[in-house]
Amino acid sequence: MSFPKLIPAFTAQIVIEPPANIGTTARGGTILFVPFVPNSGSVKSEDSYPIQLDAEFVHGADYVRMDPNGENVRLEIHSVAKDKATGALFRFSYTGTVSLAGPAGKMFRGEPDMATTGFGDAFTHHVFETGDERLGPLQNKVFVGSGRFIIEPGKPIVVEYKISEVTAS
């Protein structure tokens, strides 16, 4: 038996608006609502990936749940994107975990010295859903990602993910 391998598939860039605090809920932990900037950002295939996609996010939001111990946040994202070439719509959702111990924690806490982070604090599992025949095979694959936060003065924060397909080795 061998471990699976990763095939580089997509780069996603999500432009986000400032978060709103929903508060502490009955399920535990504080929830932040982080909307996407509508009609912005992208999901683009790597040149070598067999299913080519160049899409823009139409709508989306992240529901960030803080762990009670303050060490991590849990991501739950739901969005819709549109392929620029065909107009095909697809649902792009993912869950993940972000460690607050490193540079990503500064971003979540809004610290004044926050800066663009490296990859390694955020890991995700991505799911595609669509009725489009050409993009349909994406629904039957498993995708994982690693993310970072791009912070530039005077601009909205961009969350960037490098997403890979998980396959047999």
> Which residue bears the tokens 């400032």?
18
Q: pTM of the full predicted structure?
A: 0.95
Please name which of 24, 109, 25, 30 lies closest in space to residue 64, comparing C-alpha atoms: 30
pLDDT the model gives residue 29: 79
Mean pLDDT along residues 115-137 = 97
Q: Is 53 helix (H, G, I), strand (E, B) or coil?
A: coil
Q: What is the pLDDT of residues 15-44, one digit of tens each?
A: 999 999 999 888 777 899 999 999 999 999
Mean pLDDT along residues 85-105 = 96
pLDDT the model gives residue 151: 96
Q: Give residue 7's pLDDT band: very low, low, confident or very high (50, 70, 90).
A: very high
The rounded distance, in Å, linking the Cα atoms of 35 and 62 is 6
- Assess contact for 43 and 55: CB atoms under 8 A: yes
- Whether the per-residue pLDDT at 49 is higher than 90: the answer is yes
